Amino acid sequence: VEGFNFSTELSVRFAETDAQGVAHNANYLIWFEVARIEYLARYAGGYKSIQESGFEALTTESHVRYLAPIHFDDRLTIHTRCHDVRGARFRYEYVVERAGRIVADGWTQHAVVDRETMRPTRVPGFFAEAVASAERPGAG
Amino acid sequence: VEGFNFSTELSVRFAETDAQGVAHNANYLIWFEVARIEYLARYAGGYKSIQESGFEALTTESHVRYLAPIHFDDRLTIHTRCHDVRGARFRYEYVVERAGRIVADGWTQHAVVDRETMRPTRVPGFFAEAVASAERPGAG
Amino acid sequence: VEGFNFSTELSVRFAETDAQGVAHNANYLIWFEVARIEYLARYAGGYKSIQESGFEALTTESHVRYLAPIHFDDRLTIHTRCHDVRGARFRYEYVVERAGRIVADGWTQHAVVDRETMRPTRVPGFFAEAVASAERPGAG
Amino acid sequence: VEGFNFSTELSVRFAETDAQGVAHNANYLIWFEVARIEYLARYAGGYKSIQESGFEALTTESHVRYLAPIHFDDRLTIHTRCHDVRGARFRYEYVVERAGRIVADGWTQHAVVDRETMRPTRVPGFFAEAVASAERPGAG
């Protein structure tokens, strides 16, 4: 998908389906998180390195568009990018692709807080730099 | 909460927490669904009556704002309303309150499909009427 | 159910179903936990009071028998008892009833640890006494 | 692990943790299912081929031993074998390994039913043969 340098793959688990025979809508947020965490692992030393630096990243908003039903065992590619890093905030965007077709998309908004005080704090420099480098056109 | 005639209550399950010590962001969509289903049971004969009428309601979009951390065993009130019923579509809005304070809100967009063909179909009359009646100012 | 002084009720959530059209097998452990936590709230000051006393209760073993399919919106009664409190260990037993019929049962085994060291420690006296009192024949 | 010809790997998702900072006990049953489904895909044409043959496999019993805490992002190997195929029943056994150490084990019991009648029916021949072949000492 154009504009995305990173993607991760996963297969839909049987436990993620519901009695409509499709993946339940809440699981998309879990897949977004899986993708986000792999992104952090690839570019920014991992979620644990953020925590160990004394920060915590909170999810403050989420949005999903369910464009086509997703079924058990479907192989999904989650295209992921981070952008709009400013102050204490950053945003991830996701496009979910199955066999070349976009079946969902969405975004999550995040805030960095100090682990001790849980107060908003500027996105740490190492993270902002890692994102800038990862999101350069052509990187990935 | 003003403008909402219906609400349902639930307690946060331990299984719904994560290692940040708060309720995981995906569970809010499950709570919204619990509230939506109780709304349907109260006003429209229940989700099963929709299915038995030959319809299925799909979730096509979701949005959540996480305004304050929610913890294990918190007692939540989910204020819920349905509106904007038009054509094959309708929308639910939610406000999550804890001890008089709003800690989250969001909405979900839905489409009615024919259970056989899975094609969009006009919201059934009994449902549109039930919603109109439920959402009259002062009903509830 | 004979031999059980405590029970709690819940309705099966749509998100707990799977593409077989029944409640997914992993959710039974979540329902057991919901029941266990309500038992603790009723008799022993709640799970939080255990934690605040400096203890943590770990689940060390679980067993479930799925006796009949459970469906969306089924109203379940989870009969729950705690017994076999000895040393650092205690066990909960569960019987799941729907409309007068037993549809599942199971047990979970637990160990008390010190929250600081995470090493097994004797079940605290207040908890052992609360359980003994709750499980007297005829209590409840 | 000796006696197991098949294994699958997965990483613990953040959404699978709870406020004790460890993977929640119900998720082990989901991991077992992930492993079972990959086993079926490798040896028996996949779960879908069982369904398309007119059968459904139900979980009738589960057992888990939690031997050591499992944390976010832990890389787990789920060793899996199927045995004791008789009549309408079969059993899977699981050993969960992390960095060379066994951190959990368990088993699940299953029954094959006819998809139409939901009545128990003999394990289909192609499945029994696939399991016998997969479980020969040294296969895998």
Q: Write b or e for each residue in D94-126: b if 16 or more Cβ atoms lie within 10 A of its Cβ, otherwise e.
A: bbbbbeeeebbbbbbbbbbbeeeeeeebebbee
Q: Report whether pLDDT(D97) > 70.
A: yes
Whether the Cβ atoms of residue B106 and residue A25 lie closer than 8 Å to each other: no
Q: How many CB pairs under 8 A join B and C?
A: 28
Q: How does pLDDT run across B33-42, given as a tens digit for each residue?
A: 999 999 999 9
Q: Would you call D62 and C58 a contact, using CB atoms and an 8 Å cutoff?
A: no
According to DSSP, residue A95 is labeled E
- Pairwise CB contact (< 8 Å): C15 & A26: yes
Q: What is the pLDDT of residue B140?
A: 62
Task: Give the angle subtended at the CA of A57 by the CAs of A53 and A62, to the nearest 5°.
Answer: 165
Interface test with C, best of D13, D16, D29, D113 (most C CBs within 10 A): D29
- The Cα–Cα gap between C40 and B37 comes to 29
In this structure, is the dihedral angle defined by the CA atoms of residues A95, C18, B69 and C55, taken in order, positive or negative? Answer: negative
pLDDT of residue A105: 98
Of B13, B37, B46, the CB nearest to C34: B13
Percent of chain B whose predicted confidence (pLDDT) is above 70: 99
C124, C50 contact by CB (below 8 A): yes
Quick one: average pLDDT of D66-73?
Answer: 97
Task: Give the per-residue pLDDT at D140.
Answer: 61
**pLDDT tens for each residue of A62-84:** 999 999 999 999 999 999 999 88
The string of pLDDT tens digits covering residues D112-132 is 999 889 899 999 999 999 999
Q: Do A66 and B58 touch (CB under 8 A)?
A: yes
The answer to whether residue B17 scores a pLDDT higher than 80 is: yes
Contact across the interface for D30 and A15, Cβ inside 8 Å: yes
- DSSP sequence for B39-91: HHHHHSS-HHHHHHTTEEEEEEEEEEEE-S---TT-EEEEEEEEEEEETTEEE
Confidence check: pLDDT of A140 > 70: no
Candidates D25, D20, D65; CA nearest to C32 is D25
B contacts of C92 (beta carbons < 8 Å): none
* pLDDT reading at A29 higher than 70: yes
Which candidate, C137, C138, C123, places its Cα nearest to that of C44?
Answer: C123
Q: Do B62 and A25 touch (CB under 8 A)?
A: yes
pLDDT of residue A49: 84
Average pLDDT (B1-5) is 93
pLDDT at residue A10 in the model:
98
The per-residue pLDDT of chain B, averaged, comes to 94
Q: Note the residue count of chain C.
A: 140
Cross-chain Cβ contact A66/B56 below 8 Å:
no
String of DSSP letters for A73-94 = T-EEEEEEEEEEEETTEEEEEE
Residue C140: per-residue pLDDT: 62
Q: Where are the alpha helices (DSSP H) in chain D?
A: 27-43, 47-52, 125-134
B19 neighbourhood in chain D, CB within 8 Å: 14, 17-19, 21-22, 71-72
Distance from CA of A121 to the nearest CA of B (A): 16
- Which range has the worst mean pLDDT, B47-51, B100-104, C26-30, D1-5? B47-51
Residues of A in contact with C72 (CB under 8 A): 19
Mean pLDDT computed over D17-40:
97
